[in-house]
Amino acid sequence: MPTLYTLATLEIGYGDWAILGACLALAVAVGLFIFYIQPDASDLAPRRTKLDQLLERRDTIYDNLRDLRFEYRSGKYSEGDFEAMKTALENEAALVLAEIDQVTDAQVRRPRGTRPADGSAQ
């Protein structure tokens, strides 16, 4: 009686085992990467330096001053309110500009090879 199906003999050579092993190793590596390696939250956040933040704050203050002047001219604020808010914004702008100066001065480095002029180095 003939069988309904026959199994073909499967011969796997040395090269086939190497390919199969490489595929299995790749699958394990991908699985480990997907399920066990978690990205750090700081890797996903855009990089903003302190100088970038200060420059953005400065621009915001300038925009607020421009809007304040427009609203004052359109009659929304009295002269006393306008002067008080303008003074507060100008003081804040001065503080931010001073911080920008500090940050940019800190980024300027002394050239290599310079020594202090205390006279002790001979």
Write the pLDDT tens digit of every residue in 20-56.
899 999 999 999 888 888 777 766 767 788 999 999 9
> What confidence score (pLDDT) does residue 11 get?
61
End-to-end CA distance of the chain: 107
pLDDT band at residue 110 under the 50/70/90 scheme: very low
Please state, in angstroms and rounded to a whole number, the distance separating the CA atoms of residues 47 and 9. 59
3-state secondary structure of 121: coil
